[in-house]
């Protein structure tokens, strides 16, 4: 079931003040976001949806990289959307980046844009903050265009990092209602099978973060050996 209004209130409370310096601090530990933006690779005229767009940082970076692509972002936090709207306007990209308040776990949320389907759908450090994160993945799969790609980057399980580091990180993340999803790999495997997609799932930075792609053509999915 979709997240409740309580989730929106929690997110607004978390980000009411943090949104003003969010991008300055998060660049040091939200690792792998730039890899995801690089891997979007939309063709001219394509449409790209970010579920959980936050301050709009990723959408702005991607829109600058792809001037002939339309971008859309949904976030449940009014506070974050206020900052995202201001950032997009400041970047001069309001004509190509459209934002809306919505619940990523509500499969009807993307319909607000009237697009029908999106060539790319991505999640950047979002699933670890959405209580019903599996439903959020279903939302993305439900609006993915034929031949499209789903991309995910988020916190991993830090399996190759010292135990003390894992304990401190998880305790710190919990203060911000962030929970690294231990079942993400398995869930993406099931989603790929259900949607007839192929999956690539990678641990980055000794498991600090994970990166995944789902797409129709396995040969087009990211492989470090080909970079």
77 CB-near residues (< 8 Å, 6+ apart): 8, 11, 12, 14, 15, 54
pLDDT (tens digit per residue) in 17-47: 444 344 434 443 578 899 999 999 999 999 9
Nearest residue to 130 via CA among 109, 158, 160? 109
Q: What's the Rg (C-alpha) of the chain? A: 16
Q: Return the SS3 of 84.
A: helix
Confidence label for 100 from pLDDT (cuts 50, 70 and 90): very high
The 10s digit of each residue's pLDDT in 103-142 is 999 999 999 999 989 999 999 999 998 999 999 999 999 9
Alpha-carbon distance of 147 to 119, in angstroms, equals 7
State the residue for tokens 């940082």.
57
Q: Could you report how far apart the first and last alpha carbons of the chain are, in Å?
A: 39
Reply yes or no on whether the pLDDT at 5 is more than 70: no
pTM of the full structure: 0.86
Confidence of residue 52 (pLDDT cuts 50, 70, 90): very high
Rounded CA gap, 125 and 152, in Å? Answer: 8
């Amino acid at each position: 079931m979709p997240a409740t209004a309580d989730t929106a209130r929690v997110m607004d409370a978390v980000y009411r003040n943090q949104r003003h310096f969010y991008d300055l601090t998060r660049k040091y530990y939200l690792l792998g976001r730039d890899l995801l933006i690089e891997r979007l690779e939309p063709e001219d005229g394509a449409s790209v949806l970010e579920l959980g767009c936050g301050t709009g940082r990723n959408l702005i970076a991607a829109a600058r990289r792809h001037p002939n692509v339309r971008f859309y972002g949904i976030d449940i936090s009014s506070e974050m959307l206020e900052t995202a709207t201001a950032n997009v306007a400041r970047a001069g990209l309001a004509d190509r980046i459209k934002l809306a308040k919505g619940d990523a776990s509500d499969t009807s949320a993307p319909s607000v844009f009237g697009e029908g389907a999106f060539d790319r759908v991505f999640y950047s450090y979002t699933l670890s903050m959405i209580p019903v994160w599996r439903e959020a993945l279903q939302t993305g799969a439900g609006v993915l265009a034929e031949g499209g790609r789903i991309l995910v980057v988020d916190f991993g399980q830090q399996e190759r990092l010292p135990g003390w580091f894992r304990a401190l990180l998880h305790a710190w993340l919990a203060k911000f209602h962030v929970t690294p999803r231990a079942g993400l790999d398995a869930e993406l495997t099931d989603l790929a099978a259900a949607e007839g997609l192929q999956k690539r799932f990678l641990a980055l930075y000794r498991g600090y973060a994970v990166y995944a792609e789902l797409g129709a053509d396995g040969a087009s999915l990211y492989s470090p050996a080909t970079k």
